[in-house]
Amino acid sequence: MNTQGAEPDTGSRRRLLGRGVAAGIAGVAVMSSGRSASASTPTDPSSSTTPESSSPSSNEGTTATPTTESPGAPTGDDAAALAGMLGAEIAARDLYRIALGAGLSDAQEAGNPNVFAVIADSHDAYADSIAGIVGIPAQSAGNQSLIDDRRADFESADVGAVADAAYLLESELVAAYTQLVGEVRNVDAATLMASILVVEARHCTIMATLAGKGNDLVALLDNDVQPSSSLEEAGT
């Protein structure tokens, strides 16, 4: 992902994360109750309703409207950007599963929905959706640099510590998608990425709460995290 010369659109992300505060925690129960169904039929994020704030053509302060070409398979830079985010989604899924394998699954059994497993499955579904419009196998690429960079943070049974690492990861994914939605030319690519970033903004709210930041309005509403170098490599 080429970020040179681009001004980060923190206002757009702040609105998205703000909306996530209202819906995020309630979404835990919804995602958990629907997990068994989504395991056999992954939800396609491109079919979800996108709030106005995520639309590339929304009001002042949001991402710029991309110049779109005819719907269809993305090509060129658009395809490369999607392939990069495919690798990031697979890496995110694997990092959550690393945490579950390290004992986080047992730590979440005390009457709480295992949101880490639910969100891992969500990232898996997003990878499938991206692969579907790009036309490449979903399991053929993963951002190994991102996995290697974050493995130590996720390889833990400490719910708070993993949630803190996951908050940062989800924030970086939202930042990456927010920028790309304003850059891509293919309307299908923009629509899919916008639908994914809205849900991942809610992931940020959920993880901030599990990390003990539920009353931290800066963490919830004023998130200006930018993609790390290992995530930026995904879209280059």
pLDDT in tens, 132-186: 999 888 776 679 999 999 999 999 999 999 999 999 999 999 999 999 999 999 9
Q: Which residues does 219 contact at the CB level (< 8 Å), separation at least 6?
A: 167, 208, 213
CATH of domain 10-34+79-235: 1.20.1260
Out of 65-79, 96-110, 150-164, 208-222, which region has the weakest mean confidence (pLDDT)? 65-79
> What is the pLDDT at residue 181?
93
- How is residue 8 annotated by DSSP? P
CB-side neighbour CA atoms (13 Å) of 63: 29
Q: Are 48 and 195 in contact (CB under 8 A)?
A: yes
Residue 189 has pLDDT above 90, yes or no: yes
Q: Are 1 and 235 in contact (CB under 8 A)?
A: yes
Q: Are 212 and 47 in contact (CB under 8 A)?
A: no
Better-scored residue on pLDDT, 40 or 149: 149
Better-scored residue on pLDDT, 182 or 104: 182
d(CA 111, CA 71): 45
Better-scored residue on pLDDT, 59 or 219: 219
Using one digit for the tens of pLDDT, what is the confidence trace for 44-68? 444 444 334 333 333 444 444 544 5
Domain edges within the chain: 10-34+79-235
Residue 35 has pLDDT above 60, yes or no: no
d(CA 203, CA 162): 13
Structure confidence at residue 197 as a pLDDT band (50, 70, 90)? very high
d(CA 35, CA 28): 10
Q: Which residues does 10 contact at the CB level (< 8 Å), separation at least 6?
A: 223, 224
> What is the pLDDT at residue 180?
94
The mean of the pLDDT values for the chain is 74
Q: Which residues does 30 contact at the CB level (< 8 Å), separation at least 6?
A: none
pTM, two decimals, is 0.69
Buried b (16+ CB within 10 A) or exposed e, 25-48: bebbeebeeebeeeeeebbebbee
Better-scored residue on pLDDT, 190 or 67: 190
For residue 157, which phi and psi values (nearest 5 degrees)? Answer: -100, 5
Count the Cβ atoms, other than its own, within 10 Å of residue 22.
11
CA angle 121, 157, 36 (to 5 degrees): 25
Q: What percent of the chain has pLDDT over 70?
A: 61
d(CA 97, CA 91): 10
Better-scored residue on pLDDT, 208 or 222: 208
